Amino acid sequence: MKNVLIVEDESIVALEIENYVTDLGYNVVESVANAKSALEIVMSEDVSLVLMDVHIKGNVDGIECARAIKKVKNIPIIYISAFSDDETLERAITTQPSSYLVKPFNPQELKVAMQIASNSYESDLKVGDVVFDYEFSFDSASGELILYGEIIHLTKQEKDLLTLLVNSKNQVVSIYEIENEIWPDKGSNENTRRALIRRVRSKLNYKFIETLHSIGYRINI
């Protein structure tokens, strides 16, 4: 049974959605009204689908809440909102939602959107235990880089470098540590090191890796 989290700050609407979802055979893990509670549930429970209102209680709206969720778990998100203006839609699209339903919605529309989202989630080839964003994840056990469920080929040195950076995520890894780990039997080779960094950066679509000149590198995830 699919486990659904509902994020909706109007209690009557939340109850209505919960009744729809339950009638469709899904299990509602929780119904919450703000981003903080939503993130806590996602981190602590087995959630396989999120129904997200755009305008919720607190300083963080539904779109930013969805963005935060995607950073920690690759869970499909369906927006349910009374707002369909261009600005809101453009912001929502950047979080790669499975669907966007405008209130008042037809129960059949919700059913179809949830079926599509659930099937898409189950058909993912693979998601690593370290999630970079909605595109990239990393399997720390195998050292595999994963993009939208597909494994990206890495050479041994690329895999070793990425593993080293991920193991010290959000912290600086010194040039000495990198060279000692990747080339333990050779002297320092700046050109080779920089070429390796460039190759890994390109496979990450030039995201995440930060250079601290003359000091080292940091992967920000």
CATH number of the domain within which 148 lies = 1.10.10.10
Of 66, 101, 122, at which residue does a domain stop? 122
Residue with more model confidence, 63 or 73: 63
Model confidence at 163, in pLDDT bands (50, 70, 90)? very high
Model confidence at 171, in pLDDT bands (50, 70, 90)? very high
- Over 70: is that where the pLDDT of 25 sits? yes
| pLDDT computed for residue 126 by the predictor | 62
Same domain? 10 vs 106: yes
Give the residues across from 131 on adjacent strands.
137
Do 87 and 55 meet the contact criterion of CB atoms below 8 Å apart? no
Same domain? 117 vs 134: no
Model confidence at 188, in pLDDT bands (50, 70, 90)? low
Same domain? 143 vs 187: yes
Same domain? 103 vs 178: no
Query: What total of structural domains would you count in the chain?
Result: 2
Same domain? 154 vs 175: yes
Q: What is the pTM (predicted TM-score) of this model? A: 0.57
Same domain? 100 vs 169: no
| pLDDT computed for residue 73 by the predictor | 84
Of 122, 151, 185, at which residue does a domain stop? 122
Do 6 and 28 meet the contact criterion of CB atoms below 8 Å apart? yes
Model confidence at 127, in pLDDT bands (50, 70, 90)? confident
Do 141 and 96 meet the contact criterion of CB atoms below 8 Å apart? no
Same domain? 41 vs 104: yes
Same domain? 157 vs 72: no
Looking at every residue in the chain, the average pLDDT score rounds to 89
| pLDDT computed for residue 179 by the predictor | 92
- Over 60: is that where the pLDDT of 66 sits? yes
pLDDT in tens, 104-119: 888 888 888 888 887 7
Same domain? 77 vs 50: yes
Report the run of H or E that residue 114 belongs to, with start and end. Answer: helix 107-122
Same domain? 114 vs 144: no
- Over 70: is that where the pLDDT of 151 sits? yes
Same domain? 135 vs 45: no
pLDDT in tens, 30-63: 999 999 999 999 998 989 999 999 999 999 999 9
Task: Supply the range of the domain harboring residue 14.
Answer: 3-122
Lowest mean pLDDT among 72-86, 181-195, 196-210: 181-195
Which strands form 130-131's sheet, in the order they lie side by side? 130-131, 136-139, 144-147, 150-152
Same domain? 96 vs 139: no
State the CB neighbour count (10 A cutoff) for residue 175. Answer: 16
